[in-house]
Structure 1
Amino acid sequence: MADYRFIAAQREGDVVTIALNRPEKLNALTPAVFAELGAAVRASVEAGARALVLTGEGRFFCSGADIQPDGAGYDGLPEDLGQLLDQHYHPFVRQLAALEIPVVTALNGPCAGAGVSLALAGDIVVMGEGGYLLLAFVNIGLVPDAGATWLVARSVGRARALDMALTGERLGATEARSAGLVTRVVPDGEVLGQAQALAAKLASGPTRAMASIRQTVASALTLDFDATLEVEREHQTACGRTQDFAEAIAAFAQKRKPQFKGC
């Protein structure tokens, strides 16, 4: 994998783990961080990775946007925050949403601000027991961004989303799981290992079908029932013609485990 300044990327088998790597800044986000994240994801897909893990180095997953200049090339937040979102935040979260391979987020520590958006962008979210989610925007006079309002409201509903966003209070790991925001809560020291094992399991499966599953579920969040049936039909038709489906049928007949290739 390439060398990066603000992130780290490592491949094991068909899984690439990408880690935010600014632990001294609690993995705070800058345009340069997003540029490296986008490049690493593209490189992973081009190299044939079949699953991604997104995590952080140190004690935080991500503390959100870096609001302080560092005196070394980063000038802090610009006056036009909408332009910042358009140019850096939105391209990356859209890139994740459009991926045709599954994404597991390994929340090794607290997630705040836009870090919550990255955390919840995973198809499966593994969170450490000591972590928390914090929509901290209201505490500095801003609104949740990078998809946070959509991701939270679609998971927990209007009332709970407004409670989190308006109070700016922490939501612990157990409560986050109960609310449906995260998938699995594990001991803090096991977060990355369990996330990578899960990603490896996904990577060995029919990843083309998983891409269709990601797209179908995303559509179902905005379409009515009849429209969703049509989307399911479209994807099922395509998946029924894949080599993976043919392999699964052959394996069933031969009483063996199928060997999926993602095609």
Structure 2
Amino acid sequence: MSLDTSLADRVGTIALNRPEQLNALTVELVRSLGEAAASLVGEGARALVLTGRGTAFCAGADLSLVDRALAGDPHTALTPLVEGLHGTVKRLRQLPVPLVAAVEGPAVGAGLGLALAADLRVLGRSARLVPGYTAIGASPDGGVSYFLTRMLGTARAASLLLRNRPVGAEAAVALGLAEEAVADGAATAAAQELAATLTGTAPLALVRIRELLDRATTLGLAEQLDLEQRRVTELWDTHDFTEGVRSFLERRPADFLGE
């Protein structure tokens, strides 16, 4: 199988499982990734972790597709991969639960896009975030230009993409691209621990927060304030808001149901 999935204590884990190919992406793999994420949420996951088996998080497009592109029509060889990848990135961003990426080794090109599509990232100390595009005469895909610009601003995103600058784990933390850098081999466990802290948070509040953050750089202040008011007033009518306030006043843990 090119994907491994598991669910424990409401944390779903998805592992890219092509270690001999450095978890390089195929059309089947990117489509299966989106389906696996949705399936875990349907089974009760309140947070997800995305990781890769072996020495790499993801090396980008599978070399067999690149070989086909060079031998024939690159559009025929690569368009299905890009379309599948972009559909999966959209699907991941639309999930009703937070996603944490656990990155060991390189995350290159489209693999970097998958890592950046997560809400939070934990990196092993030898991890590297590598754009890779200019080295092969290409431009970004997988949302890399979108995510880097939103996270770093245009100037820093331009520096990374135009100069094809790899970002190590410590630098990623300093830039705000990662929550923490941990010992090599410990990223998945650390990401699962981080995800577990999110499972006790009100699910509907997390959905609204993710939406507000996604819209914050495209709306003006007045529009953002209006959206904030609509979303918070919607939450006032939920069980979880009542439970959250009561648990705070009663000084006890909240029992959030997502309703």
Scaled to the shorter chain, the TM-score interval is over 0.9
> Which residues of structure 1 form unaligned runs of 5+?
none
1:117 aligns with 2:85: no
Of 18-27 and 61-70, deviating more is 61-70
Aligned residues of 2:82 and 2:142 also touching (Cα < 8 A): no
CA 1:170 to 1:86, structure 2 compared with 1: closer, same or farther past 3 Å?
closer
Q: Which string of whole-angstrom CA distances, capped at 9 and with x for unpartnered residues, describes residues 61-116 of structure 1?
A: 0111113259xxx9568621773356301110000111111111111221111111
Q: Encode CA deviations 1:118-165: one digit per residue, 9 max, x unaligned.
A: 111111111111111110011111001110001111111222212211
Whether contact under 8 Å (1:205, 1:262) holds in the other structure is no
Query: Structure 2 vs 1, CA of residues 199 and 173 (structure 1 numbering), >3 Å: closer, same or farther?
Result: same
| Runs of 4+ residues over 6 Å off in structure 1 | none
- 1:204 equivalent to 2:200? Answer yes
Look up the match of 2:74.
79
- Partner residue, 1:157: 153
Q: CA deviation at 1:33?
A: 0.5
Computed over aligned residues only, the root mean square deviation of the Cα atoms, in angstroms, reads 1.9
Residue among 128, 131, 137 paired with 1:135? 131
| Secondary structure of residue in 2 paired with 1:246 | helix
Stretches of structure 2 lacking an aligned partner (at least 5 in a row): none
Residue 38 (structure 1) aligned to one of 27, 31, 34: 34
TM-score using structure 1 length? 0.92
Aligned to 2:226: 230
SS in 2 for 1:238: helix
Give the letter for the 1:105 counterpart.
A
SS of residue in 1 equivalent to 2:63: coil
1:53 paired with 2:59, answer: no
In structure 2, the residue matched to 1:242 is 238
| Structure 1 residues 231 and 257: CA distance shift in structure 2, 3 A | same
Of residues 102, 122, 125 in structure 1, which corresponds to 2:98? 102
Report the residue type matching 1:38 in the other structure.
G
Q: Distance in 2 between matches of 1:251 and 1:193?
A: 30
Q: Find the aligned partners of 2:37 and 2:106 in 1 and give their Cα distance.
A: 23
Instruction: Tell me the CA shift for residue 22 of structure 1.
Output: 0.4
**SS in structure 2 opposite 1:212?**
helix
> Which residue is 1:255 aligned to?
251
**Partner Cα separation in structure 2 for residue 82 and residue 110 of structure 1:** 22
Q: Which secondary structure state, in structure 2, belongs to the residue aligned with residue 188 of structure 1?
A: coil
Q: Deviations over 1:19-58 (max 9, x none)?
A: 1000000000110101211220121122121111001000
**Structure 1 residues 85 and 35, CA, compared in 2 at 3 Å: closer, same or farther?**
closer
CA contact (8 A) 1:205 1:261 kept: no
**Distance in 2 separating the partners of 1:240 and 1:226:** 21
2:163 aligned with 1:186: no
- Contact between 2:173 and 2:180, CA under 8 Å: does it hold in 1? yes
TM-score, length-scaled by structure 2: 0.93
The Cα of 1:169 is off from its aligned counterpart by 2.7
